[in-house]
């Protein structure tokens, strides 16, 4: 292989993490810069170029980079643009892929972070060999990437696959960050679990370890700690969350009949507290023709490397003739 490496760049509102990755999915080296420290994109790009070039030189990777893959909020694979993102400090839409490619002289491909996670799982992780699966990321929000017949589903405009914003509660649902009500993300993200905890504490009277904490400061980690200590209310919160996820997954199975649904993110650390009610609700709500056909798997990507690996997998697809804005 004449160019044995790719670069993965994961852009968050606080930090941008990047790394050099080989074809086996080994992160050769990684580093980061502060995203929010650059109010002007030109300054951000200059800092990114400086630090990434330093990393490439230090690891004898000059002229050995096949492509750069980028995962970013509201990024469009078709156009190479980052569009309408409130978490980044620069005006959007932004022709990110074109600008980075021009700066480095290397082909660049970009997509949103959940799609990057799906590509990473298919290239390096639990979805290797699978042609039909759904990736669900359970973090601050609920992200998703849908793969059908070996191809990521982008839709006609590049933004398909927002399963975190299917509506699970059509009457009196919670307000979601997207502005609608009743979305899956409002219930089954880490912030959704914390919201459930606050609701349960207000409407129930039973004792709970969570009552020892300031109610507005409760996090999903607090709920997990209480549940593992045997707290019934905390266990019920995971039961409630898992039931909603399982019902949603049953609907997703009806849509694309995936071989697997793969879970990634901080909430998956809760293990069977969350997985058991998911499995039960999936089994109860899946159509008979689909029962028992879809596996529920956990990501195989190392958490500390997952963002870089997911983005880097897109780098193998990057081509000089990739359609961009």
Give per-residue pLDDT as tens, 139-178: 889 999 999 999 999 999 999 999 999 999 999 999 998 8
For position 130, what pLDDT does the model report?
97
| CA–CA separation, 4 and 24 (whole Å) | 10
The CA dihedral of 47, 53, 55, 60, to the nearest 10 degrees, is 180
Q: What predicted TM-score, i.e. pTM, was given to this entire model?
A: 0.89
For position 5, what pLDDT does the model report?
97
- Tracing tokens 């504490």 back to the chain, one arrives at 201
Contact 57/96 with Cβ under 8 angstroms?
no
For position 255, what pLDDT does the model report?
94
For position 321, what pLDDT does the model report?
54
| CA–CA separation, 284 and 193 (whole Å) | 22
Domains detected in the chain: 5-119+304-315 (3.30.420.40), 130-299 (3.30.420.40)
Q: Among residues 52, 92, 93, 90, which one has the least CA distance to residue 69?
A: 52
For position 325, what pLDDT does the model report?
37
What is the three-state SS of the chain?
CCCCEEEEEEECCCEEEEEEEECCCCEEEEEEEECCCCCCHHHHHHHHHHHHHHHHHHCCCCCCEEEEEEECCCECCCCCCECCCCCCCCCCCECHHHHHHHHHCCCEEEECHHHHHHHHHHHHCCCCCCCCEEEEEECCCEEEEEEECCEECCCCCCCCCCHHHCECCCCCCCECCCCCECECHHHHCHHHHHHHHHHHHHHCCCCCHHHHCCHHHCCHHHHHHHHHCCCHHHHHHHHHHHHHHHHHHHHHHHHHCCCEEEEECHHHHHCHHHHHHHHHHHHHHCCHHHCCCCEEEECCCCHHHHHHHHHHHHHCCCCCCCCCC
Q: The tokens of 100 are what?
A: 């980075």
| CA–CA separation, 81 and 99 (whole Å) | 10
Confidence of residue 195 (pLDDT cuts 50, 70, 90): very high
What confidence tens digit (pLDDT) does each residue in 96-142 have? 999 999 999 999 999 998 899 999 999 999 999 999 999 999 988 99
Sequence-separated (6 or more) residues with CB below 8 Å from residue 4 = 22, 23, 64, 66
């Amino acid at each position: 292989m004449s160019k044995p490496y790719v670069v993965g760049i994961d852009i968050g509102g606080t930090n941008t993490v990047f790394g050099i990755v080989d074809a086996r999915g080994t992160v050769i080296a990684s580093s980061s810069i502060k995203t929010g420290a650059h109010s002007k994109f030109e300054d951000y790009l200059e800092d990114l170029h400086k630090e990434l070039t330093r990393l490439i030189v230090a690891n004898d990777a000059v002229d050995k980079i096949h492509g750069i893959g980028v995962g970013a909020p509201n990024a469009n694979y078709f156009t190479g643009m980052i569009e309408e993102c409130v978490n980044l400090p620069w005006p959007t839409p932004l022709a990110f892929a074109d600008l980075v490619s021009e700066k480095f002289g290397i082909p660049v491909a970009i997509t949103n972070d959940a799609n990057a996670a799906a590509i990473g799982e298919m290239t390096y992780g639990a979805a290797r060999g699978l042609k039909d699966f759904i990736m669900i990321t359970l973090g601050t929000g609920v992200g998703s990437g849908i793969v059908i017949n070996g191809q990521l589903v982008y839709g006609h405009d590049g933004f398909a696959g927002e399963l975190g914003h299917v509506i699970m509660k059509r009457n009196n649902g919670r307000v979601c960050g997207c502005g609608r009500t009743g979305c899956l993300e409002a219930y089954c993200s880490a912030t959704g679990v914390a919201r459930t905890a606050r609701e349960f504490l207000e409407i129930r009277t039973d004792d709970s370890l969570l009552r020892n904490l300031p109610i507005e400061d409760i996090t999903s980690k607090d709920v997990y700690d209480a549940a593992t200590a045997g707290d019934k209310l905390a266990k019920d919160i995971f039961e409630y969350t898992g039931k909603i996820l399982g019902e949603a997954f049953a609907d997703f199975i009806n849509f694309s009949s995936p071989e697997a649904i793969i879970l990634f993110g901080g909430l998956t650390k809760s293990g069977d507290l969350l997985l058991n009610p998911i499995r039960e609700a999936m089994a109860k709500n899946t159509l008979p023709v689909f029962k028992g056909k879809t596996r529920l798997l956990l990501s195989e990507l190392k958490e500390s490397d997952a963002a870089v690996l997911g983005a880097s997998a897109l780098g193998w697809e990057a081509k000089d003739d990739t359609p961009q804005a």
